[in-house]
Amino acid sequence: MLKLYGFAVSNYFNMVKHALLHKGLDFDEVTTFPGMDPAFNIKSPMGKVPCIETEQGCLAETSVILNYLETTYPAKPLLPADAFQRAKVNEIMKVAELYIELPARRLFPEVLAGKVVSDDIKADSRETLQKGCKALAALVHLPNSKYLVGDELTMADIVVRYALITGGLCAQKVYQWDLLSEVPGLAEWSKHMAAMDISKQLDKANQEGMAAFLQAVKAK
């Protein structure tokens, strides 16, 4: 049986867990926090979560795991059959990772731990987030389709949802800026995604684990 390592507050962990639940796969969940623990580094060399353990060995990095799951468990697909549309899904995922999630992550010290982030970092992150939102608006099919790429759920929807949870939180707290307003149809899409049973399950677990997570972050 697959094992999924990570913790409920991690948006990357939730991307993978959402895909596993969507596909109806059996898996054991092992609560694990990132770090350079030699025992965990055997499974995830950079000490990152999520990580999955398969019969053949372990895999880390969210995009790698998601593509492995799609290839190995093609039922309830999360990628289109058409090669160009599959590439478009991956393009949207990469934009969300590099230009929404990662610049927002630079603001974590202030948002999560109350430590002041420099004005230079704030300005640079905001500029990158603006570019990311502009790129996302150019790539997605909203508001003319149900999901980001057509009328079927794809990996893009899952990755962008959890990237925007991070990005949206940081943008609101640091800049008082609603990222969802930057892309036509994105607010409605976000509500639709949040209403899914899987999203509700993961959001509940995230909320239940948040207080302990924030306490641990501030203690560092």
User: Residue 12 is part of a domain; what is its CATH number?
Assistant: 3.40.30.10
173 and 130 in a common domain? yes
pLDDT grade for 218, boundaries at 50, 70 and 90: low
Task: State yes or no: pLDDT of 25 exceeds 80.
Answer: yes
pLDDT grade for 43, boundaries at 50, 70 and 90: very high
Task: State yes or no: pLDDT of 38 exceeds 90.
Answer: no
Q: Is the pTM of this model over 0.85?
A: yes
114 and 158 in a common domain? yes
What was the pLDDT predicted at 162?
Answer: 98
Residue 33 lies in a domain: yes
117 and 94 in a common domain? yes
111 and 53 in a common domain? no
52 and 115 in a common domain? no
Task: State yes or no: pLDDT of 212 exceeds 90.
Answer: no
Positive or negative torsion for Cα 189, 190, 195, 197: positive
Domain boundary among 72, 93, 128: 72
25 and 100 in a common domain? no
96 and 129 in a common domain? yes
CATH number at residue 93: 1.20.1050.10
Range of the domain at 37: 2-72
What was the pLDDT predicted at 37?
Answer: 85
Q: What is the pLDDT of residues 154-199, one digit of tens each?
A: 999 999 999 999 999 999 999 999 999 999 999 999 999 999 999 9
Residue 78 lies in a domain: no
Residue 77 lies in a domain: no
Q: What is the pLDDT of residues 75-120, one digit of tens each?
A: 999 999 999 999 999 999 999 999 999 999 999 999 988 899 999 9
pLDDT more than 70, % of the chain: 98
pLDDT grade for 210, boundaries at 50, 70 and 90: confident
122 and 201 in a common domain? yes
